[in-house]
């Protein structure tokens, strides 16, 4: 397929771009930043309809990952997150309708908010409470409305917290590893009992390809690894590899409470399940930081 | 109070502006269009943070009604609806935080989507499915997040379908009345059994003032009249006043199914309930079109 990967210069996008290319697809990256790699790259702004339309032209699939994906930046600049994550998704929908493209959207498990039952399946109510997950859900819904009302083929993947090589320096993984390697103390915020279904970027990339190749339209799928790892456990795993002091601090605004998410639907309907064990992914990440 | 009313040149905004002024408050209108009346008016664009900040300055309250409120326009231009309704609300939140303002937001009962139980109270899951209600909910959530995470005083009113003088020519009221008066047939879309809790602009204006004067922060309130009137009943009421032929056509995309909404919470917590009987409001509207 000829696939445009928005945000393809970012952490997750670059994994997905490589995965599609490795599987024989013709990849174009759309990003605000230049990308390292062998991909055709279009530099542009998701909030500009003309940039998006020009980038989508000539493709048959759009994997829409481009977003303000840094939760702290989204919290500081909600208008920017709204523009990129909502207006940007609306621009993608229009361009894809115009070109007859299929869209696979990178949504997030964080759309659910406070759990009403667990594990949370796709029918769980959505109560996002932070500019990041609010705008990611609105982007998902704008695309789903284009699917339902105007026939755009769309699949949305509500991703677990992604990890792998190339993570941002302000991710909890990088903060813990970088500090521990430097012999500095690691601070776990808010007690660290909040669990995360950390999902490896390679597993997520495979889910995007399966969704892109499926004939499904209008589907929303939790795309999470089954293992739940608390932040405290992550810290302990890092400290077991790079011994240093472990301390505990207050919770940060925007931190999402513990919750477990069911990925039964995507296994049943797309045949996807996570394959990378958490500790293996962690060691692989650490190896890339040597 | 010194109150900025966004969208104050529109149908609902102009009712609210007059109501606040009649109750002794110092009203400034912020709109893309000039407003008829005696209000100080600032012409500007909600999507431009500098326009919004300049307009909010000097006020202690913002009543944020400005939006792409025309559901059909929002359906045709989701990116525009996303920009005005979501980015615009984020800009209002930032400016209000900067100025120490209270915000009262015009949300909509349409955020609920398909009913899971009825009457729907504020705890009912939100499943908006059209660019209009998707972006209105995202704007509400962006403001609520500014309340919860950053202390902005916000009340959101999930309004019933508003009616009163000055309705847009493409509203169902105006279409029915204008056609019937001209002796043309009235067409009811989708069988016409979908019920609406039409809520008079004067009642809604009073709710905005009560919310603005309350000390409540972070509250979301259904603001709906109790009477449920189907589109078919509305058509029959119009035909009883201006006899003409009544026919039935297919449903339109984006039309929201019948649902009843509970306004118990706003009565208990703010002391508001609708006072204008539907037929009285309808006759008043007809009188303004003579």
Q: What is the pTM of this model?
A: 0.94
Query: CA-CA distance, B113 to B256, in Å (whole number)?
Result: 7
The domain A2-165+198-225+261-275: what is its CATH number?
3.40.50.720
Mean pLDDT of A269-281: 96
Give the mean pLDDT of A234-247.
94
- Two structure tokens written together for B28: 């400034």
Question: Mean pLDDT across the stretch A258-271?
Answer: 93
**Are B87 and A83 in contact (CB < 8 Å)?**
yes
Q: Is B202 on the interface with A (CB under 8 A)?
A: no
CB contact under 8 A, B130 and A149: yes
**CA pair distance B276, A119, nearest whole angstrom:** 46
For residue B182, what pLDDT is reported?
94
**Which residues lie below 8 Å from residue A250, measured CB to CB, with a gap of 6+?**
A189, A190
Whether residues A149 and B93 touch (CB distance < 8 A) is answered with: no
How many helical (H) and strand (E) elements, i.e. helices and strands, does chain B have? 11, 13
| Confidence category of residue B255, pLDDT binned at 50, 70, 90 | low
* pLDDT category of residue A285 using cuts at 50, 70 and 90: very high
| C-alpha distance from A252 to closest chain B C-alpha (Å) | 10
Q: What is the dihedral of CA B147, B151, B152, B158, to 10 degrees?
A: 30
Q: Which two tokens stand for residue B49?
A: 């943070």
CB contact, 8 Å: A140 with chain B? Answer: no
Q: Which two tokens stand for residue A259?
A: 């919750």
Q: Is the ipTM of this complex over 0.90?
A: yes
* Residues A131, B125: C-beta atoms closer than 8 Å: no
Contacts of B177 by beta carbon, 8 Å cutoff, 6+ apart:
B238, B242, B285, B286, B289
pLDDT at res. B21: 96
Chain B hits for A87, CB-CB cut-off 8 Å, are 79, 82-83, 86-87
Q: What is the DSSP letter of B166?
A: T
**Predicted local distance difference test score (pLDDT) of residue B253:** 58
Report the range out of A242-256, B78-92, B171-185 with the highest average pLDDT: B78-92
What gap in Å lies between CA A44 and CA A49, rounded to an integer? 10
Is A79 in CB contact (< 8 Å) with chain B?
A: yes
Taking the mean position of all CA atoms in its chain, how far away is CA B249? 27
Q: pLDDT value at position B33?
A: 85
Chain-centroid distance of CA A7 in Å reads 10
Closest CA to B61 of B22, B23, B91, B20: B20
Q: Is residue A142 within 8 Å of residue A89, measured between CB atoms?
A: yes
Q: Does A218 touch chain B (CB under 8 A)?
A: no
| Cβ atoms within 10 Å, residue A274 | 25
Interface test with A, best of B107, B145, B149 (most A CBs within 10 A): B145
Beta A199-200 vs A102-108: how paired, if at all?
Answer: unpaired
Would you call B131 and A79 a contact, using CB atoms and an 8 Å cutoff? no
Q: Which pLDDT score is estimated for B170?
A: 85
B267 or B250: which carries more pLDDT confidence?
B267
Q: Which residues face A188 on adjacent strands?
A: A248
- For residues B61 and B1, the answer to whether their CB atoms sit within 8 Å is yes
Whether the Cβ atoms of residue A161 and residue A139 lie closer than 8 Å to each other: no
Closest alpha carbon within chain B to A52: B79
Q: Is B89 on the interface with A (CB under 8 A)?
A: yes
Residues of A in contact with B84 (CB under 8 A): none
Is pLDDT of A290 > 90?
no
Instruction: Determine the Cα–Cα distance for residues B166 and B174; give it in Å rounded to an integer.
Output: 9
Q: Cβ–Cβ of A87/B79 closer than 8 Å?
A: yes
Residue A99, preceding peptide bond in cis (omega within 30° of 0): no
Contacts of B269 (CB under 8 A, 6+ apart): B216, B219, B221
| pLDDT above 90 for A256 | no
Question: In whole numbers, what is the pLDDT of chain B averaged over residues?
Answer: 94
Q: Which residue of B has its CA nearest to A144?
A: B129
Is B137 touching A (CB cutoff 8 A)?
A: yes
pLDDT tens for A169-227 read: 888 899 999 999 999 999 888 777 778 899 999 999 999 999 999 999 999 999 999 99
Q: Chain B: give the shortest CA distance to residue A215, in Å.
A: 22
Q: Are A110 and A132 in contact (CB under 8 A)?
A: yes
Q: Do B145 and A131 touch (CB under 8 A)?
A: yes
Query: Cβ(A98)–Cβ(A52) under 8 Å?
Result: no
Please confirm, yes or no, whether A105 is among the known catalytic residues. no
What is the DSSP pairing of strand B102-108 with strand B199-200?
Answer: unpaired
Considering only CB atoms, which chain A residues are within 8 Å of B71? none
| pLDDT grade for A258, boundaries at 50, 70 and 90 | low
Q: CB-based contact (8 Å) between B253 and chain A?
A: yes
Distance CA A265, CA A270 (A): 8
- Residue B257, pLDDT score: 61
- Mutation pick from B134, B147, B148, B253 vs chain A, by most beta carbons of A within 10 Å, is B134
Average pLDDT, integer, range B200-213: 98
DSSP A227: -
Residue A90 and residue B124: Cα distance in Å, rounded?
A: 26
Superfamily of domain B2-165+198-226+261-276: NAD(P)-binding Rossmann-like Domain (3.40.50.720)
E strand or H helix that includes residue B105: strand B102-108
Among A91, A134, A144, the residue with its CB nearest the CB of B138 is A134
Q: What is the DSSP pairing of strand B195-196 with strand B229-230?
A: antiparallel
CB-defined contacts A:B, below 8 A = 96
Mark out the alpha helices in chain A (DSSP H runs).
11-22, 49-56, 71-76, 78-82, 88-99, 131-150, 172-181, 201-213, 231-241, 264-270, 278-288
The answer, yes or no, to whether residue A47 has pLDDT greater than 60, is yes
Rounded to an integer, what distance in angstroms lies between the CA atom of residue B2 and that of residue B25? 6
Query: What is chain A's mean pLDDT, rounded?
Result: 94
Q: Report yes or no: A43 at the B interface, CB cutoff 8 Å.
A: no
Rounded CA-CA distance B215/B161 in Å is 26
Q: Any CB–CB contact under 8 A between B142 and chain A?
A: yes
Q: Determine whether B3 is exposed, middle or buried from the number of CB atoms within 10 Å of its CB (0-12, 13-18, 19+).
A: buried
Phi, psi of B246 (to 5 degrees): -115, 120
**Could you report the per-residue pLDDT of B134-147, keeping only the tens digit for each?**
999 999 999 999 99
CA B20: distance to chain centroid? 16
Interface check A81 vs B, CB under 8 A? yes
- With contacts defined as CB-CB under 8 Å, which chain A residues touch B94? 78-79
CB contact under 8 A, A87 and B83: yes
Chain B closest CA to A134's CA: distance in Å?
6
Give percent above pLDDT 90 in chain A: 85
Min CA distance, A213 vs chain B (Å)? 25
pLDDT band per the 50, 70, 90 thresholds, residue B249: confident
* Every domain of chain A and the residues it spans: 2-165+198-225+261-275
Q: How many CB atoms lie within 10 A of CB A171?
A: 18
Report the pLDDT averaged over residues B238-248.
Answer: 93
Whether the pLDDT of residue B254 is over 60: the answer is no
3-state secondary structure of A186: strand
pLDDT at A289: 87
Q: Hey, which residues 90-129 in chain B have their CB within 8 Å of chain A?
A: 90-91, 93-94, 125-129
Asked whether A280 and A163 are in contact (CB, 8 A), the reply is no
């Amino acid at each position: 397929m000829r696939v445009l990967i928005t945000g393809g210069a970012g952490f997750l996008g670059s994994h997905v771009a490589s995965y599609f290319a490795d599987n024989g697809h013709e990849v174009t990256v759309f990003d605000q930043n230049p990308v390292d790699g062998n991909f055709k790259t279009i530099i542009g702004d998701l909030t500009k309809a003309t940039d998006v339309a020009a980038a989508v032209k000539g493709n048959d699939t759009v994997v829409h990952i481009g977003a303000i994906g840094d939760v702290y930046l989204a919290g500081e600049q909600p208008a920017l997150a709204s523009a990129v994550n909502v207006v940007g998704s609306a621009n993608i929908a229009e361009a894809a309708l115009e070109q007859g493209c299929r869209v696979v959207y990178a949504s997030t498990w964080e759309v659910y908010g406070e759990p009403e039952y667990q594990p949370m399946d796709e029918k769980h109510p959505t109560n996002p409470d932070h500019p990041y997950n609010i705008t990611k859900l609105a982007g998902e819904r704008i695309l789903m409305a284009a699917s339902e009302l105007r026939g755009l083929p769309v699949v949305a993947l509500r991703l677990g917290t992604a990890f792998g090589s190339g993570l941002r320096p302000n991710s909890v993984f990088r903060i813990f590893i970088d500090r521990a390697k430097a012999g500095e103390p690691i601070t776990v915020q808010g007690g660290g009992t909040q669990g995360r279904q950390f999902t490896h970027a390679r597993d997520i990339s495979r889910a995007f390809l399966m969704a892109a190749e499926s004939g499904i339209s209008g589907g929303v799928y939790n795309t999470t690894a089954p293992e739940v790892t608390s932040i405290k456990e992550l810290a302990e795993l890092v400290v077991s590899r790079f011994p240093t002091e472990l301390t505990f601090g207050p919770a940060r605004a925007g931190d999402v409470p513990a919750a477990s998410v069911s990925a039964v639907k995507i296994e049943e309907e797309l045949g996807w399940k996570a394959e990378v064990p958490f500790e293996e992914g962690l060691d692989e990440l650490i190896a890339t930081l040597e």
